[in-house]
Every structure is written in structure tokens, then in C-alpha cells.
A = this chain, B = another copy of it.
């Protein structure tokens, strides 16, 4: 669960992320005061919706889904966070913060957990860092808004849109074939779009038969990008 904090390798790892690429080793170390690396198993929970938030952190590898319980007892997935994403940083400067979402590992994942106090001491006085956080926060916000504006369109469009979005994250190039870099179940897709699992299954198995996507091992590959784009933009 908790990996020994190997300073050298962690700093090297962090430098891959835009967040830290411009910083010196010394500065990075300061920003990591009191931190530890958490290794999550599949479905391992980092924290719960509503819990007292005394730490934030950065996804190092794997992925975590951020979700909230709905009144029906279901879960609504709000965001899929991938390596380099900063989680919960934006609530650290509240008086007594509570996590606004739950975070659950999707497959084995690693997370650099940083104490809230370190945020207050070292992060919150650094404009560049704050601007970086603002940047990631605002892109997440815009994504949420985009999804909302699609919420009254047909489900196939929304599923297509989500797959495009997720596969675009690591958008290698305009290849005809893309892959979603996260192990996604249909349940998680349906939780993200707030629709029934069966609807998602029907749509996607149809696409599988039509050769538009293929889902080997729990990873989804888009084999006919053109067609999927068409579906995503279809305003019939």
C-alpha cells in the first residue's frame, strides 16, 4: 500500500509532468515535504466523498476515477484522472476541506500523496504553481461543461464523444487507430454518462460487430476513427 519514498526516482518521475518540468530538484523536494507514494490495487479507494481532506496529490501511474454517489445509490463518475493529473489541490486552501468526490483506482495505480500543510506552506505562495493548478482545473471544468451541453443528445453520440475524448488524451497522431489508455468497463462508461449499463452495452456491441471498435482485454481500441467521429457529430 505504501511504497518507500525513493527521493531520486520520484523526482525523476515528476519531471516528466508539465507541472514540474521547469522546476529544480531542490524546489520539487520542498513541494513534496511529508509526501509518500501510495500503491493502489484495482478498485482501491484513495479517499471518499465527504471525508475530511487532509491531503492532495498527483497521479503517477495507472488511473483513478473520481465519482460521487447519486440519490439512487448509484455512482456518477465525474472524471478519469491519468498520470500527471493533480487531484484535490483546489480545495486545500479552504478552512476545513472535505473531498468533493471519491477517488478509486482503475487497475493497479500509483499516487503521490502530499499533506495539506505542505500545500499551505509551499504551494499556495507560488504563482506559477497556482496557475498550473488553475489550468488543469479550468480544462476539467470546460470538459464538464461540454458534456453537459451534450446531455440532451442521443446516447450513441455521447458514448462516441467520450471515447474520442479519452482516446485523445494520448493522441499519438491522426492514426486511423486509437486506444483508450484506461481499463474501462461498460459500467464505468454508463456511470460517467449517467445512463443505463444495458444501453451502453447494446451500443458498443453493435459497434464491435460493425468493426468500429474492438475491446480486447478490458482496453478499448477505436478501429474506425472516421466512422466514430461521424457518429459523435451526428445531429440527427
Q: List the interface of chain A (C-beta within 8 A of B).
A: 68-72, 74, 76, 78, 90-91, 93-94, 100-101, 124-127, 130-131, 133-135, 137-138, 140-142, 144-153, 157, 194-195, 233, 235
Contact = CB atoms under 8 A, between A and B. Distances in A.
A151 B151 contact: yes
Given A100-B145, A127-B130, A148-B78, A138 B71 contact: no
Number of copies: 2
A157 B71 CA distance: 11
A153 B93 contact: no
Nearest to A146: B68
Given A71-B153, A127-B126, A138 B78 contact: no
A144 B138 CA distance: 13
A150 to B, nearest CB: 7
